[in-house]
Structure 1
Amino acid sequence: MPWAARRGVRHSAMTMLISFGAACPCARHLAGWFRPAAPHAMVRPMPRDTPPLPSRHQRADGAFDLVFARAPRGGKGPVTVLRDLYQQSPLRILFPTPEPGEPPTAALLNCAGGLAGGDALRQSVRLEAGAQATLSTAAAEKVYRSLGPETRVETCITLDAGAVLEWIPQETILFNGARFLRDMRAELAPGAVLLAAETLVFGRAARGETMTRGLLRDRWRLHGPAGLLWADALALEGNLAAPLLHPFGFAGAEALGTLLLAGGDAAAGRGLLRGLPESAPGAATIPRPGLLLARWLGRASAVREAVGAAIVALRAAQLGLPARLPRLWTT
């Protein structure tokens, strides 16, 4: 009803009450109830009893615990099967149908879409005796600029006797201002083989961003039956432009690729990698018997190509798998 019409109705009712005042002593008091309200009256906000709470950022605390085993299945010989799985959001493990000739594949997915300052991930993979599996990520991981807290990722790999694991996640992209702490630990029993590859990208290369500030601490520890086999640590903090641009540092490289083969034929693997076309500047060496280490520096796309070519060559020659990248890398 229009305001003018509503006002007319109220005035008529008030007039009736006032004219009825002689018969009803309360009419004058009741007439006050029909006093017209302002057409644009505003509701005043209620005062706060307590001051507002300071804003708090939501943090991710993800984890997974994955166990593969070798057991008879369907009347056939022993095959690798999933023994146990625990997962905590935002991490999820998916199991795409493997292509012919491929072992069981676990696809690691971060449902949060990236990692922010204060997020923490705990990853645990165990292969029981004789099991073989591949673990990769569905896409590159992103570590966003931090407002202060560090992003932490802890990975623990345990391989029992004769187990074979490919740990080949796609790139980790560090945004400018990211504060990233990563700790990788692996325990290998006699006869176990580990092919592990990780790539760090310093800034969003596709949009021309470089990493000039932040924190990066990347630590690897590899243990075998006789104890520590290999230890490596990278620490950068504060002004990162100088070490990333220095000719005796990273020489302006957009990305760093690291590949490790433990338990295989290191000498044959080194010769194989040295014979590959050089997509990015790199080198392969044997820090100790039975351990192959390769690294690449260069443009992000070139490092990805070099790491992918090395994975293809080594998985075919050392692990007896098809000479191709897992489907997760190509879709």
Structure 2
Amino acid sequence: MPRDLPPPPARHQRANGAFEVHFATAARGPGAPATVLRHLFQQAPLRVLFPTPEPDEALTAALLNCAGGLAGGDALRQRVRLGPGARATVSTAAAEKIYRSLGPETRVESELSLGSEAVLEWIPQEAILFDGARLHRRMRAELAEGAKLLAAETLVFGRAARGERLTHGSLFDAWRLHGPEGLLWADALELNADIGDRLAARFGFGGAEALGTLLLAGADAVMARDLLRNLPEAAPGAATLPRPGLLLARWLGPATAVRRAVAAAIVTLRVAALGLPSRLPRLWTT
């Protein structure tokens, strides 16, 4: 046999994380049924923790990536299911870092399923795209009759604290929202080879460091839109109604300003639309 063949190229270890949580209601003494955890599956590097919520808060799930960030070729699958009448808040314990890729994409798939009259806050903290990151992310939400969803996500284009800007890489970010009558809203953002130029373009992203997106479904969208429009402007943004009963808000600007704007909108809408306290969950402030 030949003895002078070169060694095979090194293969980098890749993360293949996943979690599934199912919340349901259960009677616990007098009063309204409480939300309880019915099912939990988790696969490294993802972990789901359940910090003790404040007495007036919903059951809270804290998502944690034990790897400290995501590299090219890593994949995450996230599934949250709420039974009829269940109420929960799902957030990350910190911002997620998407590292520079050597070629493959980082893939994140999220599925949310809400039973009748269920209420879910899906409010992960920022995803920070390092220069050269390649992120492919999809979100799908299914709402039964009477369910309410408040979902907010933020993308940061480069490590703003270090003065880094996203000049190359790729981004695909798609949302799909379905209700009892079918598709309610669909949206996708794609940036690829010319990502730096498009982010810098005056009539594109205008040099913004971050993009924040918030979606509210199943509540009084007109009231929610008016409340957001009356908030002090922390970052340039707008709120609109793509269809009756659905609010969409977006912000572009400096990373810290966009975070403040998204946080203020979450606080305002969790009070007015979800009946939750007028404060951010502890995961956002500790």
Q: TM-score, normalised by structure 2?
A: 0.97
Match of 1:194 in 2: 149
Looking at structure 2, the residues matched to 156 and 58 of structure 1 have their Cα atoms a distance apart, in angstroms, of 26
Match of 2:242 in 1: 287
Give how far 1:260 is off: 0.2
Is 1:240 matched up with 2:195? yes
Is 1:79 matched up with 2:34? yes
Is 1:90 matched up with 2:48? no
Question: Which of 240-249 and 187-196 deviates more?
Answer: 240-249
Give how far 1:74 is off: 5.1
Give how far 1:235 is off: 0.4
Tell me which of 283, 296, 306 is aligned to 2:251: 296
Is 1:53 matched up with 2:8? yes
Give how far 1:77 is off: 4.1
Residue type matched to 2:188 in 1? A
Match of 1:259 in 2: 214
Match of 2:95 in 1: 140
Match of 2:68 in 1: 113
Mind listing any 5+ residue stretches in structure 1 that lack a counterpart? 1-47
Give how far 1:242 is off: 1.3
Looking at structure 1, the residues matched to 127 and 103 of structure 2 have their Cα atoms a distance apart, in angstroms, of 20
Residue identity over aligned pairs, in percent, reads 74
Residue type matched to 1:167 in 2? W
Looking at structure 1, the residues matched to 205 and 122 of structure 2 have their Cα atoms a distance apart, in angstroms, of 25
Instruction: Kindly name which structure, 1 or 2, has the bigger radius of gyration based on alpha carbons.
Output: 1
Match of 1:161 in 2: 116
Residue type matched to 1:290 in 2? G
Give how far 1:55 is off: 1.0
Q: Cα deviations across residues 88-127 of structure 1 (Å, max 9, x unaligned)?
A: 0000000000012001000000000000000000000000
Looking at structure 2, the residues matched to 93 and 291 of structure 1 have their Cα atoms a distance apart, in angstroms, of 29
Tell me which of 84, 106, 120 is aligned to 1:151: 106
Q: Indicate how the Cα distance of structure 1 residues 73 and 50 shifts in structure 2: closer, same or farther if over 3 A, else same.
A: farther
Secondary structure (helix, strand or coil) at the match of 1:238 reads coil
Looking at structure 2, the residues matched to 261 and 227 of structure 1 have their Cα atoms a distance apart, in angstroms, of 17
Give how far 1:52 is off: 3.1
Tell me which of 130, 134, 137 is aligned to 1:179: 134
Match of 1:314 in 2: 269
Give how far 1:211 is off: 0.4
Looking at structure 1, the residues matched to 20 and 132 of structure 2 have their Cα atoms a distance apart, in angstroms, of 30
Residue type matched to 1:85 in 2? L
Looking at structure 1, the residues matched to 96 and 154 of structure 2 have their Cα atoms a distance apart, in angstroms, of 10
Secondary structure (helix, strand or coil) at the match of 2:8 reads coil
Looking at structure 2, the residues matched to 244 and 53 of structure 1 have their Cα atoms a distance apart, in angstroms, of 39
State the superposition RMSD in angstroms.
Answer: 1.2
Give how far 1:247 is off: 1.5
Q: Cα deviations across residues 33-84 of structure 1 (Å, max 9, x unaligned)?
A: xxxxxxxxxxxxxxx7975332110100000011000111256641000010
Q: Cα deviations across residues 275-294 of structure 1 (Å, max 9, x unaligned)?
A: 00000000000000000000
Q: Cα deviations across residues 145-196 of structure 1 (Å, max 9, x unaligned)?
A: 0000000000000001000000000000000000000000000000000000
Secondary structure (helix, strand or coil) at the match of 1:190 reads coil
Looking at structure 1, the residues matched to 51 and 99 of structure 2 have their Cα atoms a distance apart, in angstroms, of 28
Residue type matched to 2:108 in 1? V
Residue type matched to 2:190 in 1? A
Mind listing any 5+ residue stretches in structure 2 that lack a counterpart? none
Give how far 1:258 is off: 0.1
Looking at structure 1, the residues matched to 14 and 71 of structure 2 have their Cα atoms a distance apart, in angstroms, of 8
